């Protein structure tokens, strides 16, 4: 049993690469992510540029010149929006909201950083985004850049930057940009809009299973799977517990995948269109939002 599961690892790994590197979405991807509900809009900027600066690594400033190991000036069209987070909320919750929105659209996160690992805040605020309200603490900032290709072949970039100011007010800056045809986004591999997801579904249990599966995610998967010939892939992950054999971790993941397949079957997704790939703990993921016991659901269109 263990040998058969491990022999399937390479198939699982190939699916994982599709999840983490080339996963793209369609449908709502042309629209900006839904704003964080516990925030208020403070301004919108139209962005039309033949060479908009986008960073894919930490920022540095050397002799008044912006430096970054991976950056690009891209022809884009879109908008930037500044939001202030409500006092009873926080920027970490806002960041998690936008990461969920990006995953729901099937976007690939190309770069993410937090705190001083991002570089100097004043460079991000004044020179990159040109938003003085983003001036804050180097240790209290986050940056994410993600890309997706829609079903029409248009590539979209979304940039999210959060910061805590010295007066403890917190802000989010969001850029959502259509990239001109022919431009190359560093680190992004498109797949012509055929791969949708992943939707990350955490699970708990052993004999019976409970899934953190929102109504919005259920609706989205049902819509995606409704396309003619679409296949639904469940990549079942598990953490490796202290002193737990690998075979046990793989078995837990397999059973969780089967249980979620039954749940999806009750929502109208035919069981014969669902494939389960048992990954368990054998493929480490750097994204902190994709750790531990979970099933990552991917829909592949014909």
3-state helix/strand/coil string of the chain: CHHHHHHCHHHHHHHHHHHHCCCCCCHHHHCCCCCCCCEEEEEEEEEEEEEEEEECCCCEEECCEEECCCEEEEEEEEEEEEEEECCCCCHHHHHHHHHHHHHHCCCEEEEEEEHHHHCCHHHHHHHHCCCHHHCCCCCCEEEEEEEEECCCCCEEEEEEEEEECCCCCEEEEEEEEEECCCCCCCCCCCCCCCEEEEEEEEEEECCCEEECCCHHHHHHHHHHHCCCCCEEEEEEECCCCCCCCHHHHHHHHHHHHHHHHHHHHHCCCCHHHEEEEEEECCCCCCCCCCCCCEEEEEEECC
Residue range 214-228, pLDDT digits in tens: 888 888 888 888 888
* CATH of 2-23+191-300 given 3.30.1330.60, 3.40.30.10, 3.30.420.80, 3.40.366.10: 3.30.1330.60
Residue range 251-272, pLDDT digits in tens: 999 999 999 999 999 888 988 9
Q: How confident is the model at residue 302 (pLDDT cuts 50, 70, 90)?
A: confident
User: Does the pLDDT at position 23 exceed 60?
Assistant: no
User: Does the pLDDT at position 192 exceed 70?
Assistant: no
In the chain, domain spans: 2-23+191-300, 27-179
pLDDT at position 2 is 45
Average pLDDT over the chain reads 86
Q: Calculate mean pLDDT across residues 141-167.
A: 92
Query: Between the ranges 5-14, 17-26, 270-279, where is the mean pLDDT highest?
Result: 270-279
2-23+191-300 matches 27-179 in fold: no
pLDDT at position 15 is 44
Q: Tell me the CATH number for domain 27-179.
A: 3.40.1000
Residue range 100-117, pLDDT digits in tens: 888 877 788 899 999 999
């Amino acid at each position: 049993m263990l040998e058969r599961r491990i022999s399937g690892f390479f198939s699982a790994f190939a699916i994982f690469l599709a999840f983490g590197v080339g996963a793209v979405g369609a449908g709502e991807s042309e629209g900006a992510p839904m704003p964080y509900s516990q925030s208020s809009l403070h301004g919108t900027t139209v962005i039309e540029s033949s060479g908009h600066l986008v960073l894919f690594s930490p920022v540095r400033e050397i002799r008044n010149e912006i430096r970054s190991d991976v950056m690009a000036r891209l022809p884009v069209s879109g908008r930037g929006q500044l939001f202030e987070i409500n006092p009873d909320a926080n920027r970490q919750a806002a960041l998690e909201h936008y990461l969920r929105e990006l995953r729901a659209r099937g976007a690939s996160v190309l770069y993410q950083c937090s705190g001083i690992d991002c570089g100097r805040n004043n460079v991000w605020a004044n020179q990159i985004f040109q938003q003085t309200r983003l001036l804050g603490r180097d240790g209290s900032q986050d940056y994410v850049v993600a890309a997706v290709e829609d079903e029409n072949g248009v590539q979209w970039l979304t940039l999210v930057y959060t910061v805590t100011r010295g007066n403890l007010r917190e802000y989010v800056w969001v850029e959502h940009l259509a990239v001109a045809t022919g431009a190359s986004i560093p680190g992004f591999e498109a797949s012509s809009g055929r791969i949708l997801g992943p939707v990350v579904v955490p699970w708990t249990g052993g004999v019976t299973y409970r899934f953190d599966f929102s109504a919005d995610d259920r609706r989205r998967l049902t819509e995606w799977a409704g396309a003619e010939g679409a296949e639904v892939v469940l990549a079942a992950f598990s953490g490796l517990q202290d002193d737990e054999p690998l075979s046990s971790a793989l078995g837990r993941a397999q059973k969780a995948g089967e249980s979620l397949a039954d749940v999806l079957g009750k929502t109208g997704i035919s069981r014969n269109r669902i494939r389960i790939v048992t990954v368990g703990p054998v493929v480490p993921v750097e994204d902190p939002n994709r750790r531990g016991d979970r099933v990552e659901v991917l829909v592949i269109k014909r």
